[in-house]
């Protein structure tokens, strides 16, 4: 990949992250992005291939998003269409994690208390 293409790819990655996308673990050939507005935004999942091509949408979606590396105009228009994630959408996964741990700790606390009560009889 040429230096100009690398700079363009880095600028696109930076722009997508600033727009609210998060980079997911992925394959060597591509970067996967996910937007916190999963259900509310059609292109919540994107894939950026190593040649700079950005692909979005479902596999069976006929209106799949395809933005070539050289198409800066289409990429800029896409960036303007991305909704800003709300505070809830950004922190939703952390909230679910805390709730799950709280339920788990509560469950095991009840089990231990019942077990100790059964031993003390």
Q: Is the pLDDT of residue 98 over 90?
A: yes
Looking at per-residue confidence, does 112 or 91 come out higher? 112
Whether residue 76 is found in the same domain as residue 111: no
CATH at residue 28: 3.30.310
Whether residue 34 is found in the same domain as residue 53: yes
Whether residue 93 is found in the same domain as residue 48: no
Q: Which domain holds residue 105?
A: 86-121
Whether residue 17 is found in the same domain as residue 48: yes
- pLDDT confidence band for 40 (50 / 70 / 90): low
Per-residue pLDDT, 50: 78
Whether residue 60 is found in the same domain as residue 94: no
Q: Is the pLDDT of residue 46 over 90?
A: no
Q: State how many domains the chain has.
A: 2
Q: Which residues, 6 or more positions from 69, have their beta carbon under 8 angstroms from its beta carbon?
A: 5, 8, 9, 51, 52, 53
Per-residue pLDDT, 6: 62
Contact 45, 58 (CB under 8 A): no
Whether residue 102 is found in the same domain as residue 113: yes
Whether residue 81 is found in the same domain as residue 107: no
Whether residue 63 is found in the same domain as residue 98: no
Q: Is the pLDDT of residue 99 over 90?
A: yes
Structure tokens that stand for 111 in this block: 């089990």
**Summary count for the chain: helices (H), strands (E):** 3, 5
Quote the CA–CA distance of 3 and 85 in Å, as a whole number: 32
Residue range 4-24: average pLDDT? 81
Whether residue 75 is found in the same domain as residue 93: no
Looking at per-residue confidence, does 42 or 6 come out higher? 42
């Amino acid at each position: 990949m040429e230096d100009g293409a690398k700079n363009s790819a880095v600028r696109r990655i930076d722009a997508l992250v600033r727009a609210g996308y998060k980079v997911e673990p992925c394959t060597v050939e591509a970067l996967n992005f996910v937007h916190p507005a999963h259900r509310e935004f059609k292109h919540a999942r994107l894939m950026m291939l190593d040649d700079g091509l950005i692909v979005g949408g479902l596999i069976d979606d006929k209106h799949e998003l395809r933005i070539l590396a050289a198409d800066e105009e289409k990429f800029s228009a896409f960036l303007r269409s991305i909704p800003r994630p709300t505070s809830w959408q950004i922190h939703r996964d952390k909230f679910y994690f805390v709730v799950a741990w709280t339920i788990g700790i509560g469950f095991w606390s009840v089990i231990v208390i019942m077990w100790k009560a059964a031993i003390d009889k």
